[in-house]
Amino acid sequence: MKVVVVQQDLVTAWGRGMDACWAGLLSGGPAFTEVTRFSTKAFQAHLAAQIPGLPEGGDASRVMRMLTPLLAPLAGTLPEGTLILLATTTGEVELLERELLSGAPSGDQSRLDVLLGRIQSTLGVTEPGRIISAACASSSVAIAHGAALIASGKRDSVLVVACDAVTEFIYAGFASLMALDPEGARPFDKARKGLTAGEAAGTVWLMSEERARRENRPSLGEVAGWGMSCDANHMTGPSRDGGGLVRAIEKALQRAGLNAADIGSVSAHGTGTPYNDSMELKAFQTVFTSQVDRDLRARSDAARRSASTSGCLDDCEGVSCAQPVPVYSVKGSLGHTMGAAGLVEMMVALKSMEQQVVPPSANLHEVDPEAVGWVSQHEVKVDGMNAVLSTNSGFGGVNAALVLKS
């Protein structure tokens, strides 16, 4: 059973909605601003991708202030049986900050199940929802789970809600790992030094194609394949060879019934840390080499001879025959939105297919030699882009890949 996206919305540092986000991405610049909500004096960086214009004050957490305008239009409209999946890493941890700073116990208000309850209450949904947390791949894993539920016929309507905010809690943590780039994240740049914390919230409503058609709902794209893996290697660093990500991608392609050659572009996790970006490039080189090689070898002898004249087929043992596809990262623009990253990037990938344009990797000045031919600081027009790949990785070696079709 096909899984389609029937509704989506988001808020990022570029403001509310995909149009604002897309325009910001195409500008090629970062949406980074100085952090003023807490002191960053002790840290190596002072920038973050922060959502402007959120109402200040009151008891509500920043996450709920991000989410409420997205959830309000959906309130009372979700059909019975719609499962709510909440994807986040730290949720309303800001409430814990307040509690520990003030010394006034708040009754564990920062628990994720409390946040899920608030979301369900705002939506007017009473059926129990589910929390999914898989580090910075949380929302892509949630989308994968929602898609699996629909594809297996267990559900026909799933709303994925993703959110994470820039807080002192996470900022200090990333600073302790020396993971923040003082100049702002520069994914795939030769001089990249780390990430920039970002915040975002979004909703993606998944439905079986059958139900969507029956209810005359628009199809904004198809979640055609998904794959998940764990490096089983290190708590905070990725596997150097990208093997874990390769497994996730190959699973996603297999489930979608596609080959690597069918993929028009890749939305990479691209945090801007030296190790992550290098790992991803190795993974992409593996996937887009080995698969192309297999595809070529499966062709007729005539086609093989033809390919051989281009100097590729006979040399496809190493990475030299990788067939670069446009790879981009939004994190030089939107920052690392942690648990929301996968959902935001999936929406951008769908927009990219709709526009037949691959957005630039923002804040990219000098392309890392490993990324030459793959990554660009300019937007790229790609005709016939009907399937794209979106990947995320995170602490603990978790990897997730989504294959999306128009």
Partner 1 sequence: MSTVSILGRGWITGTGWGRVIQGQQGTYGEGAGIPPWKDSELFPVPVKNMGRFDAVARMTLCACALAMRDAGWALGDGVKRDVGLIGTNEEGCLAANKAYFQDYLSGGRVLARANLFVYTLPSSPLAEAAIHFGFQGPMLYSAQPGGGLTGLLEMATMMIEGGDASGMVAVQADAREAVAVVLGNGWEDGCLGEASLPEGKNGNCELY
The DSSP call for residue 136 is B
Q: Which is nearer to partner 1, 25 or 85 (CB)?
A: 85
Nearer to partner 1 by C-beta: 23 or 177?
A: 177
Show the tokens assigned to 285. 């080189």
Of 400, 404, 391, 403, whose CA–CA distance to 228 is shortest? 400
Distance CA 60, CA 27 (A): 33
> Are 368 and 169 contacting, i.e. CB atoms less than 8 angstroms apart?
no
Q: Which residue has the tokens 């402007």?
A: 52
Nearer to partner 1, 47 or 134 (CB): 134
Q: Which of the stretches 94-102, 274-282, 293-301, 374-382 binds partner 1 when contact is defined by CB under 8 A?
A: 94-102
Q: Taking Cα atoms as reference points, which of 256, 151, 252, 163 lies closest to residue 207? A: 151
Binding mask 145-184 for partner 1 (x = CB under 8 A): x--xx-xx-x-------------xx--xx-xxx-------
Task: Confirm or reject binding of residue 314 to partner 1 (CB under 8 A).
Answer: no
Residue closer to partner 1 by CB (options 11, 398) is 398
Task: Give the DSSP per-residue string, 10-34.
Answer: EEETTEESHHHHHHHHHHT----EE
**Backbone φ/ψ region at 387: left (φ over 0), alpha (ψ -120 to 50), beta:** beta
Binding to partner 1, residues 241-280 (CB under 8 A):
244, 247, 251, 255
- Residue 299 CA to residue 276 CA, distance in Å, equals 35
* Stretch in the footprint of partner 1 (CB under 8 A) among 14-22, 111-119, 269-277, 320-328: 111-119
* Backbone phi, psi, residue 196, to 5°: -120, 130
Task: Name which of 127 and 315 has its Cβ closer to partner 1.
Answer: 127
Q: Among residue numbers 376 through 395, which ones bind partner 1 (CB under 8 A)?
A: 395
Q: Which stretch binds partner 1 (CB under 8 A): 1-9, 88-96, 261-269, 380-388?
A: 88-96
Candidates 133, 323, 329, 363: give the one binding partner 1 (CB under 8 A). 133
Per DSSP, 153 falls in state T
Task: Tell me which stretch binds partner 1 (CB under 8 A): 123-131, 217-225, 281-289, 297-305.
Answer: 123-131
d(CA 370, CA 372): 6
Select the residue interacting with partner 1 from 36, 39, 306, 320 (CB under 8 A). 39
Which residues pair with residue 160 across a beta bridge? 85, 204
Q: Which helix (H) or strand (E) holds 205?
A: strand 200-208
Q: Which is nearer to partner 1, 104 or 232 (CB)?
A: 232
We find the least distance from the C-beta atom of residue 248 to partner 1, in angstroms, to be 9
Residue 263's alpha-carbon distances to 5, 92, 386, in angstroms, are 19, 37, 8
The smaller minimum CB distance to partner 1, of residues 12 and 229, is found at 229
3-class DSSP assignment, residue 180: strand
Task: Name which position in 236, 306, 308, 320 contacts partner 1 (CB under 8 A).
Answer: 236
Q: Residues in the site for partner 1, rule: CB under 8 A?
A: 39, 42, 89-90, 93, 96-97, 100-101, 108, 110-113, 116-117, 128-135, 141, 145, 148-149, 151-152, 154, 168-169, 172-173, 175-177, 227-236, 244, 247, 251, 255, 395-398
